[in-house]
Amino acid sequence: MVIEAVIERATDGTFNVYCSKEIFSGAGDTIEEAKADMMQQIKFYKETAIAEGFKYPAFLDGEYSFSYKIDAVSLMQYYVNSGILSLAGLEKLTGINQKQLWGYINGTKPRKAQEERIESGFRALDKDLNAIFA
């Protein structure tokens, strides 16, 4: 079973992960920490349900995986703050100047058109990388 989970960057710079159709969530300083926190909470939930005799989702007894979704601005924040991408690189990728990108990373909400440009830039990068490594 594949469970859809959403990754978001909080205003304090941490990350939250939550399942869109299940009750599970996690938080952490990084995306990886937030995912690990959610997995720990799922394990705790199942163990507690078994110990207390409560019902829990049947999929927890089988194999399951997660399909993660992240908004373009949170993805941009993650890659810039981790040092993987620079504002100069993102400017080339999106066509949005660095000062504006810096504002988005630091809390200014982009207009829908700008968010679409950021997403489009990441999709173009993804397409290029897939062409190279496919």
Reported as a single tens digit per residue, the pLDDT across 84-110 is 999 999 999 999 999 999 999 888 889
Asked whether the predicted pLDDT for residue 134 surpasses 80, the reply is: no
Q: Count CA atoms closer than 13 A to 82's CA, side-chain side.
A: 13
- In angstroms, the CA 60 to CA 34 distance is 19
Tokens of 59: 């999929």
| Single-letter code of the amino acid located at 38 | M
Cα-based distances in Å from 3 to 20, 60, 78, 103: 8, 11, 23, 33
Strands 15-19, 2-9: parallel, antiparallel or unpaired by DSSP?
Answer: antiparallel
Reported as a single tens digit per residue, the pLDDT across 63-82 is 999 999 998 888 898 889 88
Output the pTM of the full model: 0.76
